[in-house]
Amino acid sequence: MTNISMRSVSKFFDGGDIIANYELDLEVEDGEFLVFLGPSGCGKTTALRMIAGLETPSDGEIYFDDDRVDDMPPADRNVAMVFQNYALYPHMSVRENIEYPLKVRGVPPEERDERVAEIAELLHIEDQLDSDPASISGGQRQRTSLARAIIREPSVFLLDEPLSNLDAKLRLEMRSELKRLQNELDITTVYVTHNQEEAMSMGDRIAVMNEGTIRQVAEPEELYRRPKTAWVAQFIGSPPMNLLEGTNRDGTIRVDDENSVPAARETTSADVSVGFRPEDAAVTTTEPDTDWRLRGTVKTVEPLGEYVLVNVDVGDTTVNAKVDRTDVESGQQVFLSVDPDDVYLYDGDGELVA
């Protein structure tokens, strides 16, 4: 069991021209499943590679428990890493692939057989052990590469977009498999993805990254319910939170010529953004009996089966409402109303006003 600590870790490339990571501070607890989530190029892989020892930090320190590891070669860190493009040895059977790390270490054949059987059972690939990698499915290949990583009994498990090459159905299946596996093995795990659903469903906590820095670290529910910054609010959710810029004067926020709403929270900031989740908005054609309502014009109505997505132009901004059903049509004047308890307020610096 290992605790990972990143202390003010930065990584620059090209003599400092590229800032891949900037002052990352993060504690990953023993046995925790932590996810790095963020858009492409935000520095997730670089952060993971520094934990693995494949990159050296330009600045800052990384610890595994009390041991400083940032100058330690990868082989001495006892980490296992699984990538998107898992490479199995094509000329070896599934069994030989899985036992390879033990063979290299000189583990005797009987013990290898025992460990392979155990791991294969855990990953449900016991029937494929004598097949060669070319003849098994993508999911079975990914399980084999996971088995090969796990058999070494690493103290840290690092996964970089391991499911992106799988089709949608298999991805769902592997998602819960991986989570189960991690629970059973209790290995400290860091998982990189740009897929929000994957992050929310698997992570004990999620570190949301943008432009090389960590914007918020929180449990999935907390991240969704209390995004600390406007950037995180706009990133989490599908579709994400609606945000409207406005000017605050004495607790009333003017969004545009037609729309002013109560601030719902107290702030001294004059420039603010008001936010609400698409599922928290009601769409009506008659004026609702509440102060927290916006006038707008329906842009499009998308019946998506599970819900209807109504896009409404409010001033220069298009906002989304998720409703069960609706009779509204594009071009129609409507009202969007939101319970003030479900309204978020961000100040001029984009920080949540609690």
The residues that touch ligand ATP, with contacts defined as CB under 6 A, are 13-14, 18, 20, 38, 40-46, 194
212 vs 227 by CB, closer to ligand ATP: 212
Nearer of residues 41 and 251 to ligand ATP, judged by Cβ:
41
Task: Record the tokens describing residue 351, joined without a space.
Answer: 């920080």
d(CA 145, CA 85): 10
Pairing of strands 252-256, 242-249: antiparallel
Is residue 144 within 8 A of residue 125, CB to CB? The reply is: yes
Select from 349, 353, 352 the least CA-distant residue to 228: 352
Contacts of 42 (CB under 8 A, 6+ apart): 209, 210, 211, 212
**Which residue, 84 or 290, is less far from ligand ATP as judged by CB?**
84
Question: Quick one: which of 260, 220, 253 has its CA closest to 236?
Answer: 220
Q: Which is nearer to ligand ATP, 40 or 286 (CB)?
A: 40
- Alpha-carbon radius of gyration of the chain: 25
Phi, psi (deg, nearest 5) at residue 173: -65, -45
Which token pair is 296?
């707008």
Tell me the C-alpha distance between 195 and 82, whole Å.
17
Nearer to ligand ATP by Cβ, of 49 and 115: the residue is 49
Instruction: Tell me the residue ranges of DSSP E strands in 141-258.
Output: 156-160, 188-193, 205-210, 213-218, 242-249, 252-256
* Beta-sheet strands, E only, within 14-125: 18-28, 33-37, 59-64, 67-68, 79-82
Smaller CB distance to ligand ATP: residue 37 or 79? 37
Residue closer to ligand ATP (CB basis): 140 or 210: 210
Smallest distance from the beta carbon of 234 to ligand ATP, in angstroms? 18
